[in-house]
């Protein structure tokens, strides 16, 4: 409907311009047109002018498309040497990170298991009843019903926030915190229930009993970088209060807010967790990483529309505004590759491409294959055949769906597209900085449930893409078998 209206508006504008020029010319030279002249100059001429302009526009579009394809072919031939990989050299083994627990709130479900089941049969986004674009039309969006923003304001007040400042917060920020509140509470409750911060039993050495220090909880709260600094301070106070209410002592907790402009900052933070601490910590450090985001507000929709990024009938490569929150509890491996606590799954390696990213189909697939090769190189012993499922954040954009499908067809052809390949984008929209954590959580849930490695593929951002390998933890029996095979003894 909007395309037809746009067509009629351009036709009318062209006719008006021609009519003004012709009638003005007739008045200047004193021409008295007959019926034939009226039909020819006020009817046929505007239609002909409009047809010529339409053909010129179509020709220019084809020329630009051919130039883009030629550039893509040249990148293919060159092997795309300009593209760079992850956060470490491709051949350097990555430090595994254990995934102890996860939680999420997304339009597809209120926990990891329900979201994983829902994205197997994704639902299309719906038109939002209140949010409109610049032309006054409803926008497609993915949202969560009944977000409890009142509970957020009460929690902020309990953390020492001023009532006037809290009520001035935009709707998007209140909704985002309303989604992160249950995620945070669930993960903190699991930390306490599993007794992960309890002091270990004392060890006896040289007749002396020494008690190792208890584990510490390092909380990282990732918020959109365009949010004001005042809300970051309030977020730290709010989290400390939630941890105290859960029963976690202040001395066992360190909390910080990390502003993130996009998913790249989230992946970089996950890379830092795998790095050994300096100086080495005598006690295990549990990393609680949280992120929330919401684009379900007039301000966010207006920004997307003005930037030409909003999905519409005329903009098929636009995004669907979404919202959500996710959190993962992580534990870096020790020097021997083991974990102080048993994880449910292991993030073995990931790699990110940040330069030369192309969404031309052939180039995109080749770049994803190269990126996957870097992941396998950083995960010793890993092969493409052992990957038994893939979860991505591909959405309704044809470029993303084509890239993911082409990559699966060439690198993971043994997977079943119906049962082994899932995507969050169609059901959840664009989740922003929440997407990396939700992909890791979903991959860990699938890996733990089926005891098979899963690939997490992030393609939602325009200028980067990331691939991560998540595997089930190795069983003690497997470790003993591997050790005995590598160290045979003579009988």
pLDDT in tens, 180-194: 999 999 999 999 999
Predicted confidence band at 438 (pLDDT cuts at 50, 70, 90)? very high
Q: What is the pLDDT of residue 91?
A: 52
482 pLDDT higher than 60: no
Predicted confidence band at 149 (pLDDT cuts at 50, 70, 90)? very high
160 pLDDT higher than 50: yes
312 pLDDT higher than 80: yes
Contact of 311 with 140, CB cutoff 8 Å: yes
Contact residues for 367 (Cβ-Cβ < 8 A; gap 6+):
80, 83, 353, 356, 357, 358, 465
Q: What is the pLDDT of residue 206?
A: 45
Average pLDDT over residues 337-344: 89
Q: What is the pLDDT of residue 205?
A: 42
Contact residues for 342 (Cβ-Cβ < 8 A; gap 6+):
98, 473
pTM of the model: 0.79
200 pLDDT higher than 70: no
Q: Pick the range with the lowest mean pLDDT from 13-22, 51-60, 288-297.
A: 51-60
Q: What is the pLDDT of residue 199?
A: 60
Predicted confidence band at 480 (pLDDT cuts at 50, 70, 90)? very low
Predicted confidence band at 433 (pLDDT cuts at 50, 70, 90)? very high
Q: What is the pLDDT of residue 50?
A: 81
Average pLDDT over residues 147-172: 90
In the chain, % of residues over pLDDT 90: 58
Q: What is the pLDDT of residue 69?
A: 46
381 pLDDT higher than 80: yes
3-state helix, strand, coil split of the chain in percent (to 5) is: 45, 20, 35
Q: Return the closest-CA partner of residue 215 out of 246, 165, 182, 253.
A: 253
Residue with the bigger pLDDT between 115 and 25: it is: 115
Residue with the bigger pLDDT between 116 and 24: it is: 116
What single string gives the DSSP state of each residue in 290-335?
EEEEE--SHHHHHHHHHTT-B-BTTBTTPBPB-EEEEEEEEEE--T
Q: Which residue pairs from 304-310 have beta carbons closer than 8 angstroms and sit at least 24 positions apart in sequence?
A: 305/133, 305/134, 305/139, 306/134, 310/133, 310/139
Q: What is the pLDDT of residue 483?
A: 46
Predicted confidence band at 383 (pLDDT cuts at 50, 70, 90)? very high
Structural domains present in the chain:
2-78 (no CATH), 97-194+214-479 (3.40.47.10)
Q: Pick the range with the lowest mean pLDDT from 58-67, 140-149, 482-491.
A: 482-491
Residue with the bigger pLDDT between 317 and 278: it is: 317
Predicted confidence band at 371 (pLDDT cuts at 50, 70, 90)? very high
Predicted confidence band at 124 (pLDDT cuts at 50, 70, 90)? confident
Q: Return the closest-CA partner of residue 432 out of 238, 223, 256.
A: 223
Q: Which residue pairs from 461-465 have beta carbons closer than 8 angstroms and sit at least 24 positions apart in sequence?
A: 461/262, 461/263, 461/264, 462/357, 462/359, 463/354, 463/357, 464/262, 464/263, 464/264, 464/352, 464/353, 464/354, 464/357, 465/352, 465/353, 465/357, 465/367, 465/368, 465/371
Average pLDDT over residues 91-106: 89
Q: What is the pLDDT of residue 211?
A: 57
Query: How far is the CA of 179 from the CAs of 40, 128, 304, 393, in angstroms?
Result: 64, 19, 22, 19
The whole-chain average pLDDT of the chain stands at 85
Predicted confidence band at 45 (pLDDT cuts at 50, 70, 90)? confident
Most confident of 90-94, 255-259, 298-302: 255-259
């Amino acid at each position: 409907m909007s395309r037809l209206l746009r067509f009629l508006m351009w036709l009318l504008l062209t006719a008006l311009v021609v009519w003004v020029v012709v009638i003005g010319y007739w008045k200047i030279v004193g021409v008295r047109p007959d019926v034939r002249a009226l039909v020819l100059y006020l009817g046929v001429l505007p239609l002909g002018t409009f047809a010529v302009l339409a053909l010129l526009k179509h020709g220019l579009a084809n020329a630009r498309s051919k130039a883009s394809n030629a550039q893509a072919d040249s990148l293919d031939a060159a092997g795309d040497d300009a593209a760079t990989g992850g956060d470490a050299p491709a051949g350097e083994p990555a430090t595994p990170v254990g995934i102890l627990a996860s939680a999420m709130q997304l339009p597809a479900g209120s926990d990891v298991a329900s979201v994983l089941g829902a994205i197997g049969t994704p639902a299309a986004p719906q038109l939002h009843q209140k949010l409109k674009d610049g032309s006054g039309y409803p926008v497609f969006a993915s949202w969560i019903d009944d977000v409890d923003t009142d509970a957020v304001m009460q929690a902020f007040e309990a953390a020492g926030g001023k009532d006037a400042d809290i009520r001035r917060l935009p709707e998007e920020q209140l909704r985002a915190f309303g989604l992160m509140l249950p995620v945070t509470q669930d993960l903190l409750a699991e930390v306490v229930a599993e007794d992960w911060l309890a002091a270990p039993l004392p060890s006896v050495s040289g007749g002396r009993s020494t008690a190792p220090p208890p584990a510490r909880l390092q909380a990282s709260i990732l918020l959109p970088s365009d949010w004001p600094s005042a809300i970051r301070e309030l977020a730290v106070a709010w989290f400390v209060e939630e941890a105290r209410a859960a029963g976690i002592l202040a001395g066992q907790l360190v909390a910080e807010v990390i502003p993130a402009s996009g998913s790249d900052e989230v992946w970089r933070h996950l890379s830092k967790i795998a790095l050994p601490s300096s100086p080495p910590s005598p006690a295990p450090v549990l990393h609680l990483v949280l992120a929330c985001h919401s684009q379900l507000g007039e301000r966010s929709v207006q920004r997307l529309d003005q930037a030409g990024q909003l999905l519409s009938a005329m903009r098929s490569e636009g995004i669907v505004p979404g919202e959500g929150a996710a959190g993962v509890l992580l534990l870096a491996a020790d020097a021997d590759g083991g974990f102080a606590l048993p994880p449910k799954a292991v993030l073995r390696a990931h790699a990110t491409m940040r330069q030369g990213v192309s969404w031309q189909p052939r180039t995109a697939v080749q770049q994803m294959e190269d990126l996957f090769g870097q992941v396998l190189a950083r995960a010793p012993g890993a092969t493409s055949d052992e990957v038994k499922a893939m979860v991505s954040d591909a959405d309704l954009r044809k470029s993303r769906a084509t890239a993911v499908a082409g990559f699966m067809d060439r690198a993971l052809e043994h997977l079943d597209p119906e049962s082994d390949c899932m995507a969050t984008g169609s059901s959840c929209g664009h989740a922003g900085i929440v997407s990396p954590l939700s992909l890791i959580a979903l991959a860990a849930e699938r890996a733990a449930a089926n005891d098979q490695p899963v690939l997490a593929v992030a393609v939602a951002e325009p200028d980067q893409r990331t691939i991560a390998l998540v595997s089930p933890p190795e069983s003690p029996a497997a470790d003993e078998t591997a050790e005995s095979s590598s160290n045979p003894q003579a009988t």
